[in-house]
């Protein structure tokens, strides 16, 4: 699985990221690093604890990371979620967080698979 294929699976825009970072090595490095990012856990915990300020920040951070990495699909859902949480809880937030979770799973699954292949080579 190439990085490009990985991006396709994630629903991301490889060309854009490449244009910005100019290096596959860097892209790969950051993409793999995404797995270590704690924002998602923070989001899940905050939502469960109904700490919506923190949840907003977590969603916002995910949005920022996705912007940097060109993960367009997760970017879209996290962006909607952060908008919904911007001024505290709103009814949509609960629906949107599910979407974020789904997208996050898809994303991390794809990255893990890619990581596995990288290690194999």
Check binding of 15 to another protein (CB under 8 A): no
Q: What are residue 44's phi and psi, to 5 degrees?
A: -60, -45
The mark string for 27-66 relative to another protein (x by CB under 8 A, - otherwise) is --xx--xx-xx-x--------------x-xx--xx-xxx-
The CB-of-83 to another protein minimum distance in angstroms stands at: 9
Select 24 or 54, whichever has its Cβ closest to another protein: 54
Looking at 4, 8, 68, 108, which residue binds another protein (CB under 8 A)?
68
Taking CB under 8 A as the rule, does residue 70 contact another protein?
yes
List, as one string, the DSSP characters of 30-95.
HHHHGGG--HHHHHHHHHHTT-HHHHHHHHHHHHHHHHHHT-HHHHHHHHHHHHHHTTS--HHHHH
């Amino acid at each position: 699985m190439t990085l490009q294929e990985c991006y396709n699976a994630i629903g991301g825009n490889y060309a854009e990221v490449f244009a910005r970072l100019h290096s596959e090595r860097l892209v790969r490095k950051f993409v793999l690093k995404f797995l270590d990012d704690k924002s998602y856990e923070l989001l899940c915990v905050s939502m469960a604890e109904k700490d919506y300020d923190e949840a907003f920040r977590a969603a916002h951070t995910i949005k920022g990371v996705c912007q940097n990495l060109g993960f367009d699909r997760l970017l879209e859902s996290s962006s909607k979620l952060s908008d919904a949480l911007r001024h505290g809880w709103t009814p949509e937030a609960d629906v949107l967080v599910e979407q974020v979770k789904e997208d996050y799973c898809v994303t991390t699954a794809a990255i893990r698979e890619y990581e596995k292949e990288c290690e194999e080579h």
